[in-house]
């Protein structure tokens, strides 16, 4: 039997920022690792930011990444900057770091308002193929053939997208149970009823779909990808605000590290918060800081003006401090 790696110690191993970024991207899809120790490494700004973003977005709430004694001041101006992702890219997909950049662009296009691929061309063995992608609701993308009906494979993908881990053969059994007309499929309204039976409230999760195949886009392992990407930096409360649970998980990881204030400064780049979650950060991480400085640090990352005003009213009672 194979064993599942759930603990890794990479401390004092001279792991640079680009390698840390690749590790962070792998954690986005690998929820079996509970601890990865990276103490004493030159992770740099890019590596630290990527790893903390992975912590905040991971479905694995036991994930812990100690980063004590790391150098976060390193910055390579030629490295990928997730805060300014707009641009043209020529990515060699056989190089893990360059492939991880495309994975991050796909994640941004799937989750962030104002992020999209303008063009995408896959070059393999001197042959170029233009790929057209678009964002769709995960539930709608489940019916991949646009028939409005969902078969067992599409049902399984839909269940996974909504956080339900189906057992082997469970999707097929559910199809047969709900398939009234004997077509081997269920309709979208039946799918929603089925999700309700799991006590799942459908969320507007988005997936990037390859228009040619009507299937979720998968980043190739080989060849080059020529990409033009735009990020308009438009926050959307419904899609981008981090939940209380994810912020709590991020805070736990930050407090376990000695440089938690410096790490927070990097972690919050690209993140947006509602008033309650921002208050958690102020109370837990910025406790003891000057209240005006703490507010100046967190306000640019509020999801909207209403939440920002609520945060100000709860923390700054002296009107003169608001000027």
Shared domain check, 221 and 78: yes
Cα first-last separation, the chain: 65
| Whether residue 27 is found in the same domain as residue 113 | yes
Question: Domain check: are 15 and 118 in the same one?
Answer: yes
Tens-binned pLDDT, residue by residue, of the chain (323 aa) = 445 557 889 999 999 999 999 998 888 777 778 889 999 999 998 898 889 888 887 766 678 899 999 998 887 778 888 888 899 999 999 999 999 999 999 988 888 878 899 999 999 998 999 999 988 876 555 555 555 678 888 777 777 666 666 777 788 888 877 777 778 887 767 766 666 666 555 555 678 889 998 888 999 999 999 999 998 877 655 555 666 677 777 887 777 777 777 777 777 777 788 888 888 888 877 666 677 777 888 888 888 888 888 888 888 776 655 55
pLDDT at 98: 94
pLDDT for the residue numbered 1: 43
Cα atoms in the 13 Å half-sphere on the side-chain side of 322: 12
CATH number (domain holding residue 149): 1.10.238.10
Q: Could you give the number of structural domains in the chain?
A: 3
- Domain residues for 315? 237-322
CA distance 263 to 55: 12
Closest-CA residue to 196 (of 159, 168, 244, 170): 159
Based on the fold, state whether residues 83 and 40 are members of the same structural domain. Answer: yes
In a domain, 211, yes or no: no
Together in a domain, 224 and 248 = no
Q: Is 61 helix (H, G, I), strand (E, B) or coil?
A: coil
For residues 175 and 226, state if they share a domain. Answer: no
Co-location of 225 and 257 in the same domain: no
pTM for this prediction: 0.67
Residues 152 and 197 in one domain: yes
Mark whether 141 and 70 lie in a shared domain. no
What is the enclosing helix (H) or strand (E) of 309?
helix 305-315
pLDDT number for residue 14: 94
Residue 320: its pLDDT value, please? 58
Same domain? 119 vs 182: no
pLDDT for position 2 = 47
Q: Is position 283 within any domain?
A: yes
Distance separating alpha carbons of residues 165 and 177, to the nearest angstrom:
18
Q: Are residues 169 and 193 in the same domain?
A: yes
- Is 2 among the domain residues? no
Query: Exposed (0-12), middle (13-18) or buried (19+): which is 200, by Cβ within 10 Å?
Result: middle
């Amino acid at each position: 039997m194979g064993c599942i790696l759930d603990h890794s110690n990479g401390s004092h191993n001279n792991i640079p920022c680009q390698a840390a970024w690749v590790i962070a991207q792998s954690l986005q899809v690998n929820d079996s690792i509970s601890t990865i120790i990276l103490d004493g490494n030159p992770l740099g700004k890019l590596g630290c930011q990527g790893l903390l973003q992975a912590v905040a977005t991971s479905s694995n709430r036991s994930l812990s990444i100690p980063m004590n004694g790391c150098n976060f001041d390193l910055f390579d101006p030629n490295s990928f900057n997730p805060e300014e992702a707009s641009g043209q890219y020529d990515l060699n997909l056989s190089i893990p770091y360059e492939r991880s950049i495309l994975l991050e662009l796909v994640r941004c296009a799937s989750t962030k308002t104002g992020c999209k691929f303008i063009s995408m061309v896959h070059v393999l063995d001197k042959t170029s193929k233009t790929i057209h992608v678009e964002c769709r609701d995960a539930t709608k993308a489940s019916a991949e053939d646009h028939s409005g009906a969902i078969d067992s494979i599409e049902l399984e993908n839909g269940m996974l997208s909504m956080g339900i881990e189906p057992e082997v053969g469970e999707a097929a059994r559910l199809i047969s149970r709900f398939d009234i007309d004997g077509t081997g499929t269920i309709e979208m309204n039946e799918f929603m009823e089925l999700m309700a039976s799991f006590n799942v409230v459908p969320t507007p999760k988005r997936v990037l779909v390859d228009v040619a195949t009507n299937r979720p886009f998968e980043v190739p392992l080989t060849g080059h990808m020529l990409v033009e990407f735009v990020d308009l930096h438009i926050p959307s409360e419904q899609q981008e605000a981090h939940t209380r649970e994810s912020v709590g998980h991020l805070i736990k990881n930050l407090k376990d590290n000695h440089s938690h204030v410096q790490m927070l400064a990097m972690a919050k780049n690209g993140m947006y918060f509602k008033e309650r979650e921002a208050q958690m950060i102020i109370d837990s991480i910025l406790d003891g800081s000057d209240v005006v400085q703490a507010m100046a640090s967190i306000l640019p990352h509020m999801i909207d003006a209403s939440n920002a005003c609520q945060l100000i009213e709860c923390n700054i009672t002296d009107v003169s401090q608001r000027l």
